[in-house]
Structure 1
Amino acid sequence: NNNSNSSNNEMMILSDLSESEMSEGAYKKEEEEEEEEEEEEEEEEEEEEEEEEEEQQQQQQQSRDPCKEYEDPMTVAFAVMKTQGWSVSFRSALDDEGPGGVRGPNNMFAKSDHMYSIQAVDAVRNNKIDILRELRKGGAELNASNKFGESLAHMACRRGNFEVLKYLVEEGGCELKRCDDYGRTVLHDAFWTVSPNFRLVKYLMLREPGLILVTDKRGHTPLGYARKEHWEEWGKFFRTEGEEIWMNRKGKNVVG
């Protein structure tokens, strides 16, 4: 009996130890699991914070006006024009346009009756003034446009080809009072460039200073085509060149 009791006691002790060890192991495991969960939660929170921060930065970047610290160059242009006595009011390039795109007698932008050739287009695109001269000598009309009203001068301005534009105007007989069927003038295309072309714009505006006030079909002025990151540069341009552009033209309005 004593041996039996002793054996039972030993088994109970071992059982108690085993249960104790198991309880301790389970507790440790539970602690480890809790720590892992806490770490995962912290990581998730950090990831969420990073995502929120990144999203906020993206939203700020998208909504940020790159020129908010700069004055709209059109405001600068208006101020200079007013000092020179100009009446600042807009006019659409497509005023007095009738059915079928036919422009009436009151429209200041007559549409060319001549279509330019492929050879002339290639010459303008590749800055080949010598070819333009040869074409003109051969009887080609350079004061021409395509079926959409876009002239060779439009093309030269959009590409920033100053020397080609100068030749077209001074020797080729190209008129600057031209707009395409969308109402874009040569000055619209001159501002519609990858980088500012001050020389070309000044050349146009010295000849037709009122073009800055002419709007296209959507109501956009030429400066509406300038990239916002260039606003500061255009503002400086009008501050330094505006007086010369609009001087001695008191009382002029739009295209005079």
Structure 2
Amino acid sequence: MSIVIHDVRWSAGGLMIVDGISIDVPAGKTLGLLGPNGSGKSSLLKLICRLRNVKSGVISLGSTDIAGMARLDIARRVALVEQQATTEAQVTVLDVVRLGRTPHRGPLTPWSAADDKAVTAALHHAGLQERAGQLWHTLSGGERQRVHIARALAQTPSELLLDEPTNHLDIQHQLEILSLVAKLPVTSIIALHDLNLAAMFCDRLAILHHGKVVAAGTPEEVLTEDMIAKVFGVRAYIERSAHHGRQHVQYRLD
């Protein structure tokens, strides 16, 4: 396993946000985290990269408990793409992607050929080679998300965490971003709201509700009419897509 989460708990303000979650993510696979707002998705991602510390339980990268890892070592291995960020600085795409090399460089470490190679590869994976010199503020929302992913890839991570990467994007850019992530040679965990996009692009799903995992498995195992009604409070009809063979959720208004 690449990421192992065992009986993890985390609370804030006296409220249990992550409540005994256990999830295993095989190396090279993509896990989709689903659940209503406030179910613990974003908090769990921050716990995995140790931006927050678990109250109890264990999170391991491979066989190593992250509690015993230096933060710099975690940053060299795990990259987090948070919800869209903005900046007023006059920076280019290349400037932003180069920031991904920060965990690998000391304050006096000169820029190296290895850094150039990592940044070039990240731009290539994100399809941004032709936009390296373009200013950040001239990019569309979808392009900015690609830059965030490229910055994360420049860290050369083995695990990639994404918090609502398709939020506020049009459907074309949603499909482009998730297709990009699904093809990357890394282990990925993606927090999503859209059940159909999760079924299309994720190998496995975990549904969180009130900080607990209430279902985990393949999209076919997890996305059931009963589960959707229980967790999301809506009625749905499940069918198999003729195009990609995955589950497809049709919402019912009656």
Question: Whose strand proportion is higher, 1 or 2?
Answer: 2
TM-score (norm. length: structure 2): 0.31
Which structure is higher in helix share?
A: 1
TM-score by length of 1: 0.31
